[in-house]
Structures are given as structure tokens and as C-alpha cells.
Amino acid sequence: MNAEANGTSPDRPMSVVFGYSDSDDRMWVRIGDGPLLWWITRRLALRMIGQWAALVERTVPAEAGAGSPAAPPAADERTRRAALEHRGALAPQVLPAGSAAAEPPAPPGTSALLYGAEIGVAGDKMRFVLRSAGNRQAFETPRGDAHRLLAAFVSRCRRNGWLDSPLPEWLR
């Protein structure tokens, strides 16, 4: 993943860490080693999941030799392709079963309450722009990494007890 903001290089590999504050009922996100600790409300997190999943479905690449490039695929075909792409992106991951460690406290840093996130696609990458009052952080990542990030984001929201709205079948 790549990032740009607060002097970080767009070519530098990034990590994204999620956590949760039970007392605030907010999750936090740290992107790379940047100084910002983004705080996300339940409402914004759930809206982001819906928009992110819809973007994945709308922009899923066509399979080689499938369909006509002149006609966009039907909604059910886009959903099927999104499911295949998502499963393929997650397949290499091996997560230890039942390895839930105690929730770490939010790391030190400048706190920023996220009030908007833009998610877009440019070729084979997804671009994320996070905004708060006076702060902006952008990063882009290949689609496979974006699927893994989405799965981690959904998992964090699930552990927060926030997933009360239906998810696309491929994201469950």
C-alpha cells in the first residue's frame, strides 16, 4: 500500500492497523507510521463498507474471454465477479484460528475524527482519501490489498458489534 500525507512518500510500503475504543464506541485507524490516528464513528464506518463494496462490484475487472467489452455486465454478473476477486485476494492469507489477543489501547498520535472518506479506482489500484477538519491523508493500494483491507475493516466492525445492516453475500 502507498500513502501520501504529512511528508510520507507515495512509494513507501504502508501498514494499516485497526482498533476499537469501547468507552468511545469508535474505532481507530493508523495508516503507516504517520502521526494521525483516525477515529471513525459507527455510522461512517457502515456507510464506508457499503460504498466500498458497491465500488468493488461496479469496477471489478472482466474475466479474460468473458462477455462483450462493449456491454457492461449485469448486476448479478458483477456480484459474481466481485465474489471471485474477493475470494482470490483472501485465499493466500492464513489466519490462526481463535487467536484473539486483548484489544491494544489506541497508540499515541494526533487524533483526527474522520468526517469523510473518498474511495476511487484508478486502473488496477484503489485510492483512499481520508479527511477531517484540517487533515487529509491519501493512499492507494492494488485491488487485492484493497480486498484484504476491506475484509479486515469488516472484521473489525463485526468485533465492535456494529454490523446490524446486511452485507453483500461475497463480503460475509
Q: The pTM is what? A: 0.81
pLDDT, tens digit (0-9, with 9 covering 90-100), for 58-106? 999 876 335 445 556 677 888 999 999 999 999 866 544 444 455 667 8
Instruction: Report the pLDDT value the prediction gives residue 72, as an integer from 0 to 100.
Output: 62
Name the phi and psi angles at 13, rounded to 5.
-60, 145
Alpha carbon 168 to its chain's center: 15
* Structure-block grid coordinates of residue 91: 485465499
Least confident of 35-44, 51-60, 71-80: 71-80
Can you point out the beta strands (E) in the chain?
Answer: 2-4, 16-21, 26-31, 36-40, 110-113, 116-122, 125-132, 135-142
pLDDT, tens digit (0-9, with 9 covering 90-100), for 100-151? 455 667 878 899 999 999 999 988 999 999 999 999 999 999 999 999 999 9
Q: Which of 139, 162, 159 is nearest to 149 (CA)?
A: 139
